[in-house]
Structure 1
């Protein structure tokens, strides 16, 4: 078994209202210095070792991300991080 992480983020040119809301709230809560926040999604998949990178990329691009407005990345975690 392998643990795979798929991170999905809005493309840089896409407005991120949730991120903007966080940036607006931080100063009201006494936090300063944060200029931008982008909110995305993280998927963790436990897959058989036989699942190749091309299949994982197809899963990410067809099911987990809307490629029109989102970028994504697939990362296989080292075994030491899978505890």
Structure 2
């Protein structure tokens, strides 16, 4: 089973990388970008066959290692 975890900073958390991306885009002439936020994507290949159990295990992985839940949110997509 394949899964994708999308991790983003919570609203209100400063994002210096996002600000740098925003500035660079404007510097390259890409006008109209009001804001940019940076995040990360983690793709997992799992031996699980039950999507519900896989989601529970991935949530535990996120809570313990993959995401800093104090400042980050995560979303889990089961891809099949």
Which TM-score applies when normalising by structure 2? Answer: 0.88
1:75 corresponds to which residue? 77
Alignment partner, residue 39 of structure 1: 38
1:66 aligned to 62, 65, 68, which one?
Answer: 68
The runs of 4+ residues in structure 1 deviating greater than 2 Å are: none
Aligned residue-pair number:
77
Q: TM-score when scaled to structure 1?
A: 0.85
When the two chains are superposed, the root-mean-square deviation of aligned CA atoms in Å is 1.2
**Unpaired runs of at least 5, structure 2:** none
CA distance in 2, matches of 1:66, 1:27: 30
Question: Any stretches of 5+ residues in structure 1 without a counterpart?
Answer: 79-83
